[in-house]
Structure 1
Amino acid sequence: MNDDEAVRAARAAGSPLVRDFGLLISSATRLERRIDSALRRECGISHTMLEVLILLCRRSGEEVSQRQLADGLTLTSSGTTRLVDRMEEAGLVRRVPSPGDRRLALVEPTAEGRTAFLGAAAVHARVVEEYFVRPLAGDDYARLTGALAAIDRALREETG
């Protein structure tokens, strides 16, 4: 790489778009680590396990397949299978055969899983309030979540 390319590369790496996107990713990653750490310490479950329980409890009474969980969590099929295996061993979920398709395994929370979810949801809410909501002044939280929703919509429409 010649000197001109090195200067252009350094300028591109330090651009506001690269910096701002890096700030978003860094903040989200640090917040996720805080949530995961608090959940493991206080509830004995991971943040990803909580995400599974959120999906299952949000769709209470609906059939939820492992494939739907994988899609909702952006995990591979094998990663989802291993996660559900661990959660089943911990008594948080159970697999049941689909009445409409015997090849399909459905996942549902157990009573213990719903109880664990309620405790973990309180821990999650506390950490989110402390590190995601409280640092923002006035209407900044509403503007931030509105902007994130707009970005999410644009990305969903693009892949729709």
Structure 2
Amino acid sequence: MDATTRWGAEAARAANSPGVHDFGLLIKTATRLEQRIDTALRRECGISHSMFEVLIRLCRQPGEEVPQRELADDLTLTSSGITRLVDRMEEAGLVRRTPAPGDRRSVLVEPTEHGHTAFLQAAAVHSQAVERYFVKPLSRTDYTRLTSSLGAIHEALREG
């Protein structure tokens, strides 16, 4: 067997390994689910899934103002990415920014009344999509097993 054939066979084994396949399936499934949710939110509520994620974070504690930097961390966005997203949300009347007391470099973000209303509408749309595409295809036992396993993976990533 020449080197090209050997390398090709080794590469094919690696590309077709169970770990590569299973991880690819996870990423493809998560991406398609996110696309379905994003499409439903845009069509029915006029907001993106990313905007919805910001509103989730902002609506968790009534009256809380969240530092924009913390939003970026929570949503795994870059500083410029969260700035552009919050800019669009501010233009849409969903959020407002206020200077952080005692820290001129920090900006706080809070939902507007329109943001709260949009969030509640989007939460219902999101819930329907999650039920249809994430919960319903599985038995209750499989769903519990899946979410428990995802939680364990998430914790392992936080620790390591």
Q: TM-score range by the shorter chain?
A: over 0.9
Q: 1: CA distance between counterparts of 2:20 and 2:144?
A: 24
1:47-86 mapped onto 2 (5 Å cutoff): 47-86=49-88
1:121 is matched with which residue?
123
- From 23, 27, 44, the equivalent of 2:46 is 44
What amino acid sits opposite 1:29 in the alignment?
T
Distance (whole Å) between structure 2 residues aligned to residue 19 and residue 25 of structure 1: 10
Question: Among residues 111, 133, 141, which one is paired with 1:139 in the alignment?
Answer: 141
Matched, 1:7 2:15: no
1:128 is matched by which residue type in structure 2?
V
TM-score between both structures, scaled by the size of structure 1: 0.96
SS at match of 1:96: strand
Cα separation, 1, equivalents of 2:9 and 2:22: 20
Q: Take 2:17 and 2:118, find their aligned partners in 1: how far apart are those partners? A: 44
Tell me how far 1:98 sits from its aligned partner.
1.1
Q: RMSD over aligned Cα, in angstroms?
A: 1.0
Unaligned regions of 5+ residues in structure 2, if any? none
Give the strand-richer structure, 1 or 2: 2
Shift of 1:60: 2.8
Residues 89-125 of structure 1 show CA distances to partners (whole Å, capped at 9, x for unaligned) of 1000000111232321100000100000000010000
TM-score with structure 2 length normalisation? 0.96
Matched letter for residue 132 of structure 2: E
Question: Please, which runs of 5 or more residues in structure 1 have no aligned partner?
Answer: none
- Count of paired positions: 158
**Off by >6 Å, runs of 4+ in structure 1:** none
Identity among equivalent pairs (%): 70
